[in-house]
Chains A and B, each alone.
Chain A
Amino acid sequence: MGDPKGFLKIGRKPSPKRTVEERVQDYRYVYEPMPDEELKGQASRCMDCGVPFCNTGCPLGNLIPDWNDLIYREHWKQAIDRLHQTNNFPEFTGMLCPAPCEAACVLAINDKPVTIKEIELSIINRAFEEGWVVPRPTPPEKRTGRRVAIVGSGPAGLAAAQQLNWAGHTAVVFEKDDRIGGLLRYGIPDYKIEKWVVDRRIAIMEEEGVEFRTNAHVGENPTTKDLKGEFDAIVLAVGALQGRDLDVPGRELGGIHLAMDYLVQQNRRVAGLPTNAEVEISAAGKNVVILGGGDTSADCLGNAHREGCASVKVLTHGPRPPDNPDHLTWPDWPFILHTYPAHEEGGERGFSVAVKGFSGTGGHVEKMHAVETERTNGKTVAIDGTDFEIETDLVLLAIGFTGPVRDRFMREMDLGYTHTGAIHSENGFGTREPGTFVAGDAKRGASLIVWAIAEGRKAARQADEYLMGESLLPE
């Protein structure tokens, strides 16, 4: 399979990116496609391992060695078939997944991993170009007559809906927003995933028979009771959108926002939609401080540059992570300083910063008061006497999420929460309520899109089993 010596001949080469100068001028996708020939060479680096840690490291269990080989041999059609076996939406993961598979790649032990993510994306892009991705409606004779409600239209909900529809059930997706997609739609900037990509997939699902209901805030409209009455099973994929806040003096000042509020507004603007917000948040011309070092923070950073901020600082509580992984980490996700394209576009990264408060005049933030921290005995603590101030007029809090928004629906379902704030689940994807299942961020807390899809699929299988006694959906 493949070229057994490929990894000795060719080095890792990721997809090219558009220049920083160019890309900060627009919201288009950052990466450029990889030429097929080079991609083939990259695929040939796959060693076809006896224990493919990529396959086990991928929450979806993507059959990575299989499709690497298919690309090496230029069998694109079979590659997408194999890829679709495990992944409903390879274009989403291909663009957005941080690729734990690559961290787990055996080549990562003493070399550089295979560019798995790029190969995945190329396969699905090619498949769309060739017209191979077509709706596969379930034939009427396979219809079970059972109805399943999927609450939430993010990747977990979409994956669950597609699987359940294929299993012959009527799948109805409820979305409280005006458009389908959840975080994919209004959480993630276009330069990471252009929204037509989401639309394209939703159109296919609609044709396959999945029903989408937007502006449908379950609990209000429809009511919890209505929902339970109409459906034989419910899959909760409501995400974990409750942003973590800071409880420090001055937090109430204007110009301090949760990251997600900022991102949603900006995404709506890019989509040409009204923000419908009481307070418009914009980074244009501002000195921006972004607190937090994860994906959301990077998304804020990218947006801030594109809006034309005056300056931007990204500050985190803990110390600077190491540049290279500890050799004992493999095949797990390494604790290192991750650098995203947004970081290449500018801004300053700061570490070991604790926020003590904000101050400003006119009800608007002007200064952030902070102190340096150090890490002792596994805890990050402030160092006395290291206080300093940063001038800022926009502060974005990207310091994590605390679980699903506890709205009326959640209260009425009364399923209980875990200590991290996620919905309590039992026996896999089940809940205390028979016939109600939970998947994605709502179940595991804010996490990767690949987990969302994987959980959506698994929850669907469990729901199918619940409805039919057994399930032929993949495990």
Chain B
Amino acid sequence: MTPGAGLYDPVYEHDACGLGFVARLDGRRTRETVEEGLEVLLNLEHRGTTGSDPETGDGAGILTQIPDGFFRKRCKELGIELPEAGCYGVGMLFESGVDEGLGCEGRLEKICAEEGHELLGFRGVPVVPEAVGKVARSVMPRIRQFFIAGQGGDEAAFERKLYVIRRRLHKAVEDSHACYVVSLSSKTVIYKGLLKGRQLPRFYPDLKDAAFASAIALVHERFSTNTLGSWELAHPYRYIAHNGEVNTIKGNINWLRARESRLHSELFGRDLEKLSPVILPGQSDSASFDNALELLHLAGRSLPHAVAMMIPEAWENDGLMDPERRAFYQYHSALMEPWDGPAAVAFTDGRIVGAMLDRNGLRPARYSVTRDGRVIMASEDGALRVPAEDVIERWRLQPGKMLVVDTERHELLHDEDAKRPLFGRQPYRAWLEEGEIHLNELPEPSTNPRPEPASLLERQRAFGYTIEDQRILLAPMAQNGKEPDGSMGTDTPLAVLSERPQLLFSYFKQHFAQVTNPPIDPLREELVMSLKMSLGPEQNLFDETKKHCRRVLIEGPVLTAAELEKIRSLGSERANSTTLSTLFPVSTGEEGMEEALARLCEKAESVVKAGSAVLVLSDRGVNETQAPIPSLLATASLHHHLVRAGIRTATTLVVETAEAREVHHFALLIGYGATAVNPYLAFETIEDLAGTHLMEGVGPEEAAKNYVKAIGKGLLKVISKMGISTLFSYCGAQIFEAVGLNQELVDRCFTGTASRVGGVGMDALARETLERHRGAFSAAWDNAGELEVGGEYQLRVQGQYHQWNQTSIPPLQRAVKTGNFETYKEFTRHFDGHSARFATLRGLFDFERAPIPIEKVEPAREIVKRFVTGAMSFGSISKEAHETLAIAMNRIGGKSNTGEGGEDPTRFTIDPNGDNRRSAVKQVASGRFGVTTEYLVNADVLQIKMAQGSKPGEGGQLPGHKVSDDIAKVRYSTPGVGLISPPPHHDIYSIEDLAQLIHDLKNANPLADVSVKLVAEVGVGTVAAGVAKAKADHITISGHDGGTGASPLSSIKHAGLPWELGLAETQQVLIQNDLRGRVILQTDGQLKTGRDVVVAALLGGEEFAFSTAPLVATGCIMMRVCHLNTCPVGIATQDPELRKRFTGTPEHVVNYFFFLAEEVRELMASMGFRTFEEMVGRSDMLKMRDAIEHWKARGVDLSAILYRAEAPEGTAISHSERQNHGLEKSMDNELIGKCIPALESGKKVSFAHPITNTNRTVGGMLSGEVARRYGNEGLPDGTVRINFHGVAGQSFGAWLARGLTFTLEGTTNDYVGKGLSGGRLAVFPSRLAAYKPTRNVVVGNVALYGATAGEAYFRGFAGERFAVRNSGAHAVVEGVGDHACEYMTGGVVVVLGETGRNFAAGMSGGVAFVLDEAGRFETLCNMDMVGLEPVESEEDIELLRGMVERHMEWSRSERARRVLDEWDEVLPSFIKIMPHDLKRVLRERQEPELEVAS
């Protein structure tokens, strides 16, 4: 196995996990604590995973206090004399490879001596290699411990010294990677490895030693996306265990690196120099985080302080936040950008142990406090079995909050107690008031920007403006304040293949979050988002002075000319600015640009050294003789130059450029280091357009404001699709991949950016710039002031090439209508033409030939079974079009896909004429529309849509006017009420969550394959490996270019990669991890021809999905108006009149797929493949076309795509085995057995059953059995009743069908009642519990997600996102966390108590009632889509009272009893939450009746 070869890069590995700690408040070091820690690990094992070797885990570990008694005993045996407890350091060492020279031991001895400490000796750590898996054993290091004597006195100073020794040792052996110090501390020691949790104590007998005792046990079980795991990557690290992902890691590392030269610490003194680089290159995000935290801590900050600084709460938009708290965060934002991303972090220094959640609360963390003073925190409740009567507090960590246990002072500190001392450390508020100034508060500038020598038109041409830029991008943004939408994906060439000069921006593709990390909804969860930026130099990170927060704040990164002038005139008092021109003389030609760039960097370095705190890079002044360096090139080059020079944080980059105009441009400039951008030409253009036909009724000022707003919103979307909340941390984070830039250019100017197919260099960028410049200043005549047409979004013959065009569409349509293969060939021939060949990467490929007669090739009727139609919902396309595709695919034995809109149950039965309208593939997307248990059991494949090609990482919206009666019916929603699909699946925030959803679906329908749909981006291969480990049966890799639905134009164009890259990477990584055989690999994205299919097969594809082409076959003519409902051929519309124009038939689709298969056969014959199977993964049969006559494409190098992963003999390179889903272990097998009488004859069944947190998805399989037999109708109410007791695992009561009632005495974890389909759930605390039932967490996060019907009664609190996307369940709960009722479209929720923030965000239907006795609800509710009303109508009162009564009945709720007892007094405290949309629909429905009545 060769990591780093081909497209696989270990940098993109992700992990997630279960974590936990057990701590004793009394600080007693006990054996039990260690054992309890190990038990937690055991009970979280399902959150970890294994790879191809079932006995090799992804990693597990435990961190404890130094067990002095244990080490003293062992060392004595070895003749090592330890100083008194706390006065010696223990090092845990992994050694591998061959030591050269001094070896690890010699080096360590030398370093210790130099640092003035005595190395006392080594101890071989006893291990039992047989306890671990084969793969783990094969890479197992030698494990030793060493001991270093302290010098007495300052403990902290000793820890710092040990840190210095460790860093020096690592640096000394860096090249050979021969040794890795797991931990070196006088306080803590870590035992970890490439293990499963249960193997840990077996492997390390030390852990079983009676003398091995601690008051703290911090444990971690890892789930990594691939299995090329290493012993080092296991958690805990020295200070933390982490469940999460730092999305901004590249930026965080770069910024810390940039800060290093400005660090000075009295505590470290000269030792500081020995530490650099503080963050070791090539580590995981968690390890990097640990390095940074360690540095901040050892330099003087307490762990809670340092953690709060790195993972701040969402303070920016929280008006309710305590001012001192806010000031603390605001002040620290001047010191360091957030380490942004979902996170649950447990941290310890050996004395305190704590945990903290990110601002979004995107990881679970539950804790209990026992009567005997133990604090147990874990990803799941119940991880340590504690009898209910011993628990005195049962709660959860809330978003942004912290919990700390101080084992010395015997204190349990909740968030406020833990953080309050921090807020008062310094007069932060006073400092901020004095030091910070907002740009708005500065006087208007007296100077005006320099006059431009060239006319507006000349400059627009010089910067490549087109009519489309004006008409399709700028004008709509300036008119409506938002980015425009488009449809039908993109079919234009990649920038590097385009014949037309491209802006440098177009060579970059945005990254997005999928699976390992959730995207955020920037609209509905705005409270966590921020665009705030600031200008000014940074100070020493270790200090806290008022000087640190002397800076100029700006609301967002888009500056008007006047604002830029304000910054220019700040003066030395605030921030000296220097404007650097980025122009170069045209006469110096292509080389001139490179020289100018070098000069720019030199100049910048000298002015920053002279104290310039703001650098303005300006391309103003373009004229006949001066051309601009592309602004992104200038910005990124300078950023990296200053990072390398160690002076980056002394200045801020502001870009004054005519080039930036669309969201993607701004995202890139900021992503490569710019703090703010003044797009002056965009503003001038908008001013010029204001009042013209393109922008009617909008004045220039309003237009400019709208434009700024649109860019801001767009940027929020770009960062949130990566799961990043603050633009501040996005700055410099480089979350892009370059496609078509050569390595030299990337290394120099975009250091660290992935660019895997090579491409053009600086000379080509200069050539493109000069070409535009010539067009602007040398044109013979001005063409009546008209710009070039563009043609990127809509085809124009004068503009950009599109694959779907006037010469490709008609022959395809003629061919499928006439059944003429020759006509079809005309269609295909188009793609052999020059333009089409240079539209895609696959166009650059050629095949190796070894012909055989075509008769020997597998028949077309077999090949067509590999074809599927893409996921298009009924809703995005018409009923006629949707069913035509389904019938056609069923006829040929392929598969059609429901898309995310549910499916009418009438389609589950065969039509009288034999046609089958049932879609074989049922999609489960983030909106869960129509996902009932019946829907799930009627599938052959259940596809989890993690992302879609046209807008990966984004959600969607179906406006109310499109929700017709039919659509509302299959989506279980109200006609006329709008529907929102969230960007993330709210039950998938990480890879272990995906494993859980796969398990849930598999339970509901064990016969169906579970598929996971991903979109190509760098690292998708490692994600896919994780998905395979999460037990998906099938993986789809989508290209960026497909997509039929409406999406923002910038997403269609700039997010995601061609499938060639994604598929090849996936194939390579799966093979290298020996996981390929477990999954079927599918690909899609503008597949059209037999050639496309064959290329995809050779790269590893086994199934192929098509959307656009079959639509074209049924009459689509690429109007690209799907989002407008005006499709003139009746496909993408719900308008009954337009639907009549649909003329497509199943025969057309069948003809297309048979033509395609026939063409595939011809190619197979030419290559000598008899069966399709033989062809899969044979990338050796592909080569690059010989003569590439295209000047830009010549630099493209496809060898990484063609790389064939080396694998041991017998490693599968295509699908060969079935996943082991372990369903036989499901408790449901037993439940089904007991319920047979109910299932088979409807007899009543009732029994009790114990449950623990390792029992997952209880009820899912049973419900599937009900739905299979009785459909959505289920069984009569009360048929089955099961009374559980204990702590339920995740997804308790998932998919619960009608007729099933589950009660649970105890508590539950996340995803309770997921997809509830008519069943009844009641959860209430144990009668014996020592805590107050009114204040306990009884259900975890994300309960009732996507529930379509049923009842739920929860006595106690629910976590975050209660009843998210509920569309039918009636639920009562006694308190909820943040974001409750988010995206709800139906059902009723009653909250008899407190709520968190952002209640009802995106709620378009259903109603909620909240008992608001404290009178705070209004401030907590998101009022964007709902109104608040008193509960007055009889109907409402009856509904509410009835639900409270049933709650009392089912959950024994005391609170319900009180409410009912005092009904009249309590009723006025209830608030009804009513969605505006629903209210409008109800009113509209009533109106006709009223008319009649009057």
On whether the beta carbons of B797 and A81 are closer than 8 Å, the reply is no
B785 surroundings in chain A (CB, below 8 A)? 81
Whether B805 sits at the interface, judged by CB under 8 Å, is yes
Complex Cα distance, B789 from A74, in Å, reads 20
Whether A111 sits at the interface, judged by CB under 8 Å, is yes
Complex Cα distance, B774 from A472, in Å, reads 9
A136 surroundings in chain B (CB, below 8 A)? 781
B378-391 near A? 1/0 per residue, CB < 8 Å:
00000000000000
A61 surroundings in chain B (CB, below 8 A)? 796-798
The minimal Cβ–Cβ distance linking B1042 to chain A, given in whole angstroms, is: 15
Complex Cα distance, B1135 from A65, in Å, reads 23
A277 surroundings in chain B (CB, below 8 A)? none
On whether the beta carbons of B1141 and A56 are closer than 8 Å, the reply is no
Categorize the interface residue count of chain B.
35 or more
Nearest-neighbor residue (CB-CB) of A327 within chain B: B817
Whether A330 sits at the interface, judged by CB under 8 Å, is yes
On whether the beta carbons of B806 and A110 are closer than 8 Å, the reply is no
On whether the beta carbons of B1129 and A109 are closer than 8 Å, the reply is yes
Complex Cα distance, B779 from A86, in Å, reads 16
B1126 surroundings in chain A (CB, below 8 A)? 4-5, 8, 47
The minimal Cβ–Cβ distance linking B1187 to chain A, given in whole angstroms, is: 20
Within 8 A of A (CB), among B795-812: 795-798, 802, 804-806, 809-810
On whether the beta carbons of B1119 and A49 are closer than 8 Å, the reply is yes
Nearest-neighbor residue (CB-CB) of A332 within chain B: B810
Known A111-B1128, A472-B778: A1·B1119 in contact at CB below 8 Å: no
Whether B780 sits at the interface, judged by CB under 8 Å, is yes
On whether the beta carbons of B783 and A474 are closer than 8 Å, the reply is yes
Within 8 A of B (CB), among A1-21: 1, 4-5, 7-8
Whether B471 sits at the interface, judged by CB under 8 Å, is yes
Complex Cα distance, B783 from A473, in Å, reads 9
Whether A273 sits at the interface, judged by CB under 8 Å, is no
Nearest-neighbor residue (CB-CB) of A472 within chain B: B779
Whether A70 sits at the interface, judged by CB under 8 Å, is yes
Pick from A55, A106, A107: contact of B797, CB under 8 Å: A55
Whether B794 sits at the interface, judged by CB under 8 Å, is yes
Known A84-B784, A166-B780: A50·B693 in contact at CB below 8 Å: no
Complex Cα distance, B795 from A5, in Å, reads 21
Whether B177 sits at the interface, judged by CB under 8 Å, is no
Complex Cα distance, B487 from A7, in Å, reads 20
Nearest-neighbor residue (CB-CB) of B809 within chain A: A51
On whether the beta carbons of A55 and B795 are closer than 8 Å, the reply is yes
- Give the size of the chain A interface in residues (CB under 8 angstroms): 51
Known A50-B794, A331-B810: A4·B1121 in contact at CB below 8 Å: yes
The minimal Cβ–Cβ distance linking B232 to chain A, given in whole angstroms, is: 52
Interface core residue of B467, B789, B817, B1124 (most chain A CB under 10 Å): B789
The minimal Cβ–Cβ distance linking B1041 to chain A, given in whole angstroms, is: 14
Whether B173 sits at the interface, judged by CB under 8 Å, is no
Within 8 A of B (CB), among A431-475: 472-475
Complex Cα distance, B1138 from A57, in Å, reads 25
On whether the beta carbons of A82 and B1117 are closer than 8 Å, the reply is no
A66 surroundings in chain B (CB, below 8 A)? 467, 789
On whether the beta carbons of B780 and A63 are closer than 8 Å, the reply is no
Known A1-B471, A328-B814, A328-B817: A56·B795 in contact at CB below 8 Å: yes
Whether A48 sits at the interface, judged by CB under 8 Å, is yes
Known A66-B467, A73-B693, A78-B693: A166·B1137 in contact at CB below 8 Å: no
Pick from A51, A52, A167, A328: contact of B818, CB under 8 Å: A328
Whether A85 sits at the interface, judged by CB under 8 Å, is yes
A69 surroundings in chain B (CB, below 8 A)? 693
The minimal Cβ–Cβ distance linking B1400 to chain A, given in whole angstroms, is: 33
B797 surroundings in chain A (CB, below 8 A)? 55-56, 61
Whether B692 sits at the interface, judged by CB under 8 Å, is yes
Whether B573 sits at the interface, judged by CB under 8 Å, is no
On whether the beta carbons of A47 and B1119 are closer than 8 Å, the reply is yes
The minimal Cβ–Cβ distance linking A213 to chain B, given in whole angstroms, is: 24
On whether the beta carbons of B805 and A56 are closer than 8 Å, the reply is yes
B1119 surroundings in chain A (CB, below 8 A)? 47, 49-51, 106
A472 surroundings in chain B (CB, below 8 A)? 774-775, 778-780
B471 surroundings in chain A (CB, below 8 A)? 1
Within 8 A of A (CB), among B540-572: none
Known A56-B805, A78-B693, A107-B1128: A48·B779 in contact at CB below 8 Å: no
The minimal Cβ–Cβ distance linking A272 to chain B, given in whole angstroms, is: 36
Whether A75 sits at the interface, judged by CB under 8 Å, is yes
Whether A212 sits at the interface, judged by CB under 8 Å, is no
Whether B523 sits at the interface, judged by CB under 8 Å, is no
B1118 surroundings in chain A (CB, below 8 A)? 49-51
Whether A142 sits at the interface, judged by CB under 8 Å, is yes
Within 8 A of A (CB), among B743-790: 774-775, 778-781, 783-786, 789
On whether the beta carbons of A52 and B780 are closer than 8 Å, the reply is no
On whether the beta carbons of B810 and A330 are closer than 8 Å, the reply is yes
Nearest-neighbor residue (CB-CB) of B791 within chain A: A55
Nearest-neighbor residue (CB-CB) of A166 within chain B: B781
Nearest-neighbor residue (CB-CB) of A77 within chain B: B784
Known A66-B467, A331-B810: A47·B1128 in contact at CB below 8 Å: yes
The minimal Cβ–Cβ distance linking A50 to chain B, given in whole angstroms, is: 3
Nearest-neighbor residue (CB-CB) of A208 within chain B: B781
Whether A318 sits at the interface, judged by CB under 8 Å, is no
The minimal Cβ–Cβ distance linking A29 to chain B, given in whole angstroms, is: 27
Complex Cα distance, B796 from A142, in Å, reads 30
Whether A53 sits at the interface, judged by CB under 8 Å, is yes
Known A55-B796, A328-B818: A8·B1138 in contact at CB below 8 Å: yes
Interface core residue of A50, A52, A73, A138 (most chain B CB under 10 Å): A50
A237-254 near B? 1/0 per residue, CB < 8 Å:
000000000000000000
Known A4-B1121, A85-B786, A328-B818: A52·B795 in contact at CB below 8 Å: yes
Whether A403 sits at the interface, judged by CB under 8 Å, is no
A55 surroundings in chain B (CB, below 8 A)? 795-797
Whether B29 sits at the interface, judged by CB under 8 Å, is no
Whether A168 sits at the interface, judged by CB under 8 Å, is yes
Complex Cα distance, B797 from A111, in Å, reads 24
Complex Cα distance, B783 from A78, in Å, reads 12
Complex Cα distance, B778 from A167, in Å, reads 11
Nearest-neighbor residue (CB-CB) of B788 within chain A: A474
The minimal Cβ–Cβ distance linking A473 to chain B, given in whole angstroms, is: 7
On whether the beta carbons of B804 and A51 are closer than 8 Å, the reply is yes
The minimal Cβ–Cβ distance linking A41 to chain B, given in whole angstroms, is: 17
B802 surroundings in chain A (CB, below 8 A)? 51
Complex Cα distance, B475 from A69, in Å, reads 14
The minimal Cβ–Cβ distance linking A53 to chain B, given in whole angstroms, is: 6
Within 8 A of B (CB), among A123-178: 136, 138, 142, 166-168
Known A1-B471, A109-B1117: A50·B783 in contact at CB below 8 Å: no
Nearest-neighbor residue (CB-CB) of A85 within chain B: B786
A84 surroundings in chain B (CB, below 8 A)? 784
Whether B1037 sits at the interface, judged by CB under 8 Å, is no
Extra A-B contacts (16), CB below 8 Å, given A49-B1120, A50-B1118: A4-B1121, A5-B1126, A48-B1121, A49-B1118, A50-B793, A51-B805, A55-B796, A56-B795, A70-B693, A74-B693, A85-B784, A106-B1119, A138-B780, A167-B780, A328-B814, A331-B806
Chain A to chain B contacts (Cβ below 8 Å), 30 pairs: A47-B1128, A50-B795, A50-B1120, A51-B794, A51-B795, A51-B802, A51-B804, A51-B806, A51-B809, A53-B1117, A56-B795, A56-B805, A57-B806, A61-B796, A63-B789, A65-B794, A69-B693, A73-B696, A81-B784, A81-B785, A81-B786, A85-B783, A106-B1119, A107-B1128, A109-B1115, A109-B1128, A109-B1129, A328-B818, A331-B806, A472-B778
Which B residues are within 8 Å of any A CB, using their own CB?
A: 467, 471, 487-488, 692-693, 696, 774-775, 778-781, 783-786, 789, 793-798, 802, 804-806, 809-810, 814, 817-818, 1115, 1117-1121, 1124, 1126, 1128-1129, 1135, 1137-1138, 1141, 1143
Q: Across chains A and B, which 9 residue pairs bring their CB atoms closest together, nearest first?
A: A50-B1120, A56-B806, A61-B797, A73-B693, A81-B784, A75-B693, A51-B1118, A50-B1118, A166-B781
